[in-house]
Amino acid sequence: MPHFIARHRAHSLAKTPLPAALTLLTFLALALTLPAFHLAAHATSTSTTVSVAVRPVLSIAIGSDQLALDLVQSPDGTFGAVSTSLNVATNAADGYSVYLYAANGDPDLKPATASTTTTISPVAANSTPDTFGANTWGYSLAATSLATHPDPLPAPDPDTATYHPVSARADTVATSTSAPSSGDTYSLAFGANVTNDLAPDSYSGAVVISVVANPAEVSSLTELTFMQDISPAVCQNSPAGATKQLTDTRDGKKYWVAKLEDGNCWMLQNLDLDLDPARPLTPADSDVSRVWTPDTATSTTIFNSNDETATLSYDPGLYLKSNPTAFNQYCTSSTSLADPSCQSAGFVDVSNRTAATTPDAELLTDQTYDAHYLVGNYYQWNAATAGTGVTTTAATAESDADAPDSICPRGWQLPVAGPDDNTTSGSFYELLGHYDLTTSSHNGAIASSPLYLQYSGYIYQGQIYQAGYTGRYWSSTVSPANHIAYSLYFSNSVAPTDYYFYFNGFPVRCLASTREL
């Protein structure tokens, strides 16, 4: 009988960037004690508060990162399994969650030989070795030693264990609600069943195992430190108007966020994430269901492409408009916000100034600027949706569909739009309705507190159009019409269900809902 080798590569992410965080507040009092011969009226003292954000320590180790399984095919199927150990430790008070998913978004085991077309597909959920389907594979994970359990747990038998399918999405496969300082150990097994219908070859696939520290229980977003700490419960518990500046763990950039009148938490700044093929987005830090590697890095040169499948993005630099509500002052058909016409329209380079740390700061001083008004980056729709946009289709002209992923931080997502979503929580229309802004921009009020939506213009054919005159923001919703997605548009009027072609470049705003969208 012919033989084949099914090789499963289980990869671990050591010290994965963590959404959770601990905050340590250290109060440092600086007192100046003056000599006795000084006049008492001249005595001074001062104090300062030092805030230190401390990330949880998290480690993950796997016994073997390459597992091979040799099986002899048979007409009725041959089952085999191989296992390794997985150890997790953290000092996060609320424990951790273990995620497992296909590294490249495709859970099928692929043959090494290009001429071979058969694959080994994921097994049905909760399958035992005697119920495996033909030419399927899966994983089993069971605890063998827990820091919270005093006695060793029985080691599972891979030949009798229950197996589950590896999926493209990040499935939660294990959780802990406390800190196992001495570590928890799991047995991780992969099993496969093969029949004579499978072409002899070497089949392989890559699996990502990531561990994320559980966020500590908080009652408001004002207690958070990182964007990735948000959850529906945190947003739900936050009072309307709660505001905080949070850090994106992916690049360390800070964003003002707030709980708005629609009941959701929104970013009050345009996203400024630079995409890079060398830094894939993962479910541990981003709103993606599988690891996504951008095709192209964010450029400081405006892109010029009509390719609707492209994932291009543009970083214009640190610019804001000194007159942000004046949409009658603008530049258009510009190659940069540094163009003289854009400078005349009020766009200012603030790269030599520091972002203010108070939410009601002055727009511009000689040393600081209010980051609410930053232009941020421009993204094509397929980039904004982390490559899932062009594969998303609406079934009929009466229906919309939402791209499942986005480049927003984990716990955040793109707003929805389109006529079907006018009353949907998390839509542009529903948000603006709470501020009476669905048909009029109220002389530029849309660009100031509390929404701070900017007249940033958009990218078209290698130029910035209408910067300072129009605002456009991508939604996750594809239109039934070909090659366009819904967006928010505003100028001297507002259109929360506007739409445009995929290849244009728009800014991005993200929201965190009080429910799972």
- Using one digit for the tens of pLDDT, what is the confidence trace for 66-76? 888 888 888 98
Which residues, 6 or more positions from 388, have their beta carbon under 8 angstroms from its beta carbon? 403, 404, 405
- In angstroms, how far is the first alpha carbon of the chain from the final one? 51
Kindly write down the DSSP assignment for every residue of 385-425, as one continuous string: TTT-STT---SSTT--EE-S--SSBTT-BPPB-SGGGTTST
pLDDT reading at 38 higher than 50:
no
For the question of whether the overall pTM of this predicted structure is more than 0.85, the answer is no
Tokens for 362, please give them. Answer: 């002055």
Please name each of the domains of the chain with its CATH number: 3-15+58-213 (2.60.40)
Read off the DSSP letter of residue 150.
S
Higher pLDDT, 213 or 245: 245
Percent of the chain with pLDDT over 90: 59
359: which residues sit within 8 A by CB, 6+ positions away? 243, 245, 256, 372
Separation CA 484–CA 502 (nearest Å): 6
51 against 249, higher pLDDT:
249
* Residues 243-296 pLDDT 10s: 999 999 999 999 999 999 999 999 999 999 999 999 999 988 999 988 899 999
Q: State the average pLDDT over residues 429-434.
A: 94
Q: Which residues, other chains included, contact 254 with Cβ-Cβ below 8 Å and sequence gap of 6+?
A: 245, 246, 247, 248, 355, 371
Cα 17 to Cα 7, 28, 100, distances in angstroms = 28, 29, 16
φ/ψ (deg, to 5) at 489: -125, 140
**What whole-number distance in Å separates Cα of residue 212 and Cα of residue 174?**
11
Query: What is the average pLDDT score of the chain?
Result: 84
**176 CB burial (10 A radius; 0-12, 13-18, 19+):** buried
